[in-house]
Structure 1
């Protein structure tokens, strides 16, 4: 068994606050070759994961908001926002599954947020996501 201490979460938030991206990851999987990739993402207000998608058939993502509130936008190929949803505390939803090829962004709305991300592996950094520029 592996347990996660509250001091680890404190460290994760501290790393996020000092990061240019205003977020920090803590991998729960042992390596990038594992078939199930699990990680915690600590975010602070202002953190914005820019629009992107995953183009491999196995690259779905599941996000569960454990603390705080985030906004998930779903975009058309031309950049139109198809849907916008708040997830987390005091919201109607706390979880979202994003299918392959769905263009999406994530923004931290609350002062801090903690997300659990689960996705199919293995993780390959060079092909993990396709960033989108709508300009």
Structure 2
């Protein structure tokens, strides 16, 4: 028998702090061929969940600790909804829905999808996790509201001679 409790969430959240991605997971299925994929995900503020979709799979999310915001987007990158996920809720995402999470406090949730494992698809406008745009996207998603367009987020280098340095967010 398996059980998720407060201690499991706390252990995973502690592990997530030392992960470069600021998140970790614990698989509950035996392998990627299982008919039901189950895992506990722990994420810390500062993590970036790349907007993605599962074209042939629904996805079930059940918050276990903390809160996170689920954002859904259309094919053009427009924010459609923003929903705060809290303990006691269960949310099912239909196949093909582009979504991401914005984490503003330690957050642990249980995820279930039909198997076998299939890599998520990502829209072309969705910044890769390792790109400089990922940090900008993560910060933008913290404040994004329905009607805002993620595809207008670009990385612009500031002239080193100016009083500002580094990168800034610009809108096309």
Shorter chain as denominator, the TM-score bin is 0.7 to 0.9
Matched, 1:76 2:74: yes
Aligned ranges 1:52-71 → 2 under 5 Å: 52-56=52-56, 59-71=57-69
Give the TM-score normalised by the residue count of structure 2.
0.67
- Do the aligned residues in 1 keep the contact of 2:9 with 2:65 (CA within 8 Å)? no
Q: Relative to total residues, which structure has the larger strand share, 1 or 2?
A: 1
The alignment yields a C-alpha RMSD, in angstroms, of 1.9
Number of positions where the alignment pairs a residue of Structure 1 with one of Structure 2: 126
- How far apart are residue 84 of structure 1 and its match? 0.6
Listed one character per residue, the Cα deviations across residues 52-98 of structure 1 (whole Å, up to 9, x for unaligned) are 11122xx1100010110000111011111111111115xxx722111
Q: Relative to total residues, which structure has the larger helix share, 1 or 2?
A: 2
Q: CA 1:3–1:97 in 2, change beyond 3 Å: closer, same or farther? A: closer
Which residue in 1 is equivalent to 2:83?
85
For 1:113 and 1:7, the matched residues in 2 are separated by 13
Q: CA 1:11–1:133 in 2, change beyond 3 Å: closer, same or farther? A: same
Which residue in 1 is equivalent to 2:122?
131
Which residue in 2 is equivalent to 1:99?
94
For 1:95 and 1:17, the matched residues in 2 are separated by 25
Which residue in 2 is equivalent to 1:108?
103
- Max radius of gyration: which structure? 2
For 1:109 and 1:65, the matched residues in 2 are separated by 14
Give the TM-score normalised by the residue count of structure 1.
0.83
Higher relative contact order (CA 8 A, sep 6+): 1
